[in-house]
Chain A
Amino acid sequence: QEVTLRVHHFLSADAPIQKGVLEPWDKMVEDQSGGRIDVQIYPSMQLGGRPPQLFDQARDGVVDIAWTLLGYTPGRFPLSEVFELPFLSGSAAETTAALQEYQKKYMADELAGVHPLLIHAPAAYKLHTKDKAVAGVADLAGLKVRAPSRTMTDGLNALGATAVGMPVPEVPQALTSGVIDGAVIPWEVFGSLRIESVTRNHTEFGSENGGLSSAVMALVMNQAAYNALPDDLKQVIDANSGAALADLAGTAFDKAEAAERQKAIDAGNTVTVIPEENLDEWRQASQPVIDTWVKAMTDAGHDGQAMLDDARAMLDRARAE
Chain B
Amino acid sequence: MTGQEGGEAGDAALTEHALPVSVPGWIAALCRFFAALGGAVLLAMMLMTVASVLRRSFLGAPIPGDFELVELGSAVAIFCFLPWCQVTGGNVLVDFFTSKSTPRSNHLLEAAGDLLYLLIAALLAWRLFHGGAEMREYGEQTMVLRIPLWWTFPIILPAMLLLVATCAATTIGHLRKARA
Asked if chains A and B are in direct contact (CB within 8 A), the reply is yes
**Interface of A toward B, CB cutoff 8 Å:** 52, 56, 73-76, 142, 144, 147, 149-150, 153, 162-167, 170, 179
Cβ contact within 8 Å between B139 and A153: no
- Note all chain A residues with C-beta closer than 8 A to B143: 74, 147, 149-150, 153, 165
- Distance in angstroms between the alpha carbons of A317 and B138 in the assembled complex: 33
- Distance in angstroms between the alpha carbons of A166 and B144 in the assembled complex: 9
B20 at the interface (CB under 8 A from A): no
Chain B proximity of A46: nearest CB distance (Å): 21
- Distance in angstroms between the alpha carbons of A147 and B145 in the assembled complex: 13
- Note all chain B residues with C-beta closer than 8 A to A52: 140
The contact of B142 among A74, A147, A149, by CB within 8 Å, is: A74
Q: Which of A75, A144, A150 has the most CB of B within 10 A?
A: A75
Chain B proximity of A173: nearest CB distance (Å): 12
B40 at the interface (CB under 8 A from A): no
Chain A proximity of B59: nearest CB distance (Å): 10
- Distance in angstroms between the alpha carbons of A73 and B135 in the assembled complex: 9
- Which single residue of chain B is at the shortest CB-CB distance from A170? B67
A-B contact pairs, 26 of them (CB 8 A): A73-B138, A74-B140, A74-B142, A75-B138, A75-B140, A75-B141, A76-B139, A142-B61, A144-B56, A144-B60, A144-B62, A147-B144, A149-B143, A150-B143, A150-B144, A153-B143, A162-B61, A162-B62, A163-B144, A164-B62, A164-B67, A165-B68, A165-B143, A166-B67, A167-B67, A179-B56
Chain B proximity of A131: nearest CB distance (Å): 14
- Judged by DSSP, the binding face of B is loop
B104 at the interface (CB under 8 A from A): no
- Note all chain A residues with C-beta closer than 8 A to B95: none
B158 at the interface (CB under 8 A from A): no
Cβ contact within 8 Å between B141 and A142: no
- Which single residue of chain A is at the shortest CB-CB distance from B66? A164
B16 at the interface (CB under 8 A from A): no
- Note all chain B residues with C-beta closer than 8 A to A56: 134
Chain B proximity of A177: nearest CB distance (Å): 11
- Distance in angstroms between the alpha carbons of A95 and B120 in the assembled complex: 46
- Distance in angstroms between the alpha carbons of A170 and B68 in the assembled complex: 13
Cβ contact within 8 Å between A144 and B146: no
- Distance in angstroms between the alpha carbons of A170 and B142 in the assembled complex: 17
Cβ-closest 4 pairs across A and B: A165-B144, A75-B141, A162-B61, A165-B143
Against A, the Cβ 8 Å flags (1 = close, 0 = not) of B72-101 are 000000000000000000000000000000
B103 at the interface (CB under 8 A from A): no
- Which single residue of chain A is at the shortest CB-CB distance from B71? A167
The contact of B140 among A76, A163, A165, A170, by CB within 8 Å, is: A76
Chain A proximity of B85: nearest CB distance (Å): 23
- Distance in angstroms between the alpha carbons of A68 and B94 in the assembled complex: 40
Cβ contact within 8 Å between B142 and A144: no
- Distance in angstroms between the alpha carbons of A179 and B67 in the assembled complex: 11
Which residues of B135-165 are within 8 A (CB) of A? 138-144, 146, 148
- Distance in angstroms between the alpha carbons of A52 and B131 in the assembled complex: 12
- Note all chain B residues with C-beta closer than 8 A to A75: 138-141, 146, 148
